[in-house]
Amino acid sequence: GLGFNIVGGTDQQYISNDSSIYVSRIKKDGAAYLDGRLQEGDKILAVNGKNLKDLRHKDAVELFRNAGYDVSLRIQRRLQPQNGPVGHQGDGESGGLPLAAIVVPGLALAAAVVWILLKYRQRM
């Protein structure tokens, strides 16, 4: 196989009001894992030039099974995480900065600016 699992389709929408096909899992040491370009959460738009839009899940699976040895995928990267198993990285780390990494330095900067302004006013 190609070394990954998919979810979605017109009959099994993974995301509400979206019948697209998504990569749900990449199998360790499978073809997709070894290639390294495909990621969990990617939306697969086409396989070997065949559009996956408005396909039932089983029809999409059949396209992948009959894709042959050289497979060309057209994908769209997920821009932001959504709920569900897609995008799970397995190492316990989120993909972005924690909120505290932004808020704490911002608050410290604001406090420093207020302190400087107060000191400056006292001198006038």
Rounded to whole angstroms, the Cα distance separating 2 from 64 reads 8
Position with higher pLDDT, 79 vs 71: 71
Least confident interval from 35-39, 52-56, 59-63, 96-100 = 96-100
Phi-psi sector, 59: left (phi>0), alpha (psi -120 to 50), beta? alpha
Measured at the alpha carbon of residue 117, what is the angle toward residues 113 and 123, in degrees to the nearest 5?
Answer: 150
pLDDT band at residue 118 using 50, 70 and 90 as cut-offs = confident
What's the mean per-residue pLDDT of the chain?
80
pLDDT band at residue 98 using 50, 70 and 90 as cut-offs = low
pLDDT band at residue 100 using 50, 70 and 90 as cut-offs = low
Determine the topology of domain 4-76 in CATH.
Pdz3 Domain (2.30.42)
Instruction: Give the per-residue pLDDT at 117.
Output: 78
Where are the domains positioned within the chain? 4-76
What's the distance, CA 83 to chain centroid?
11
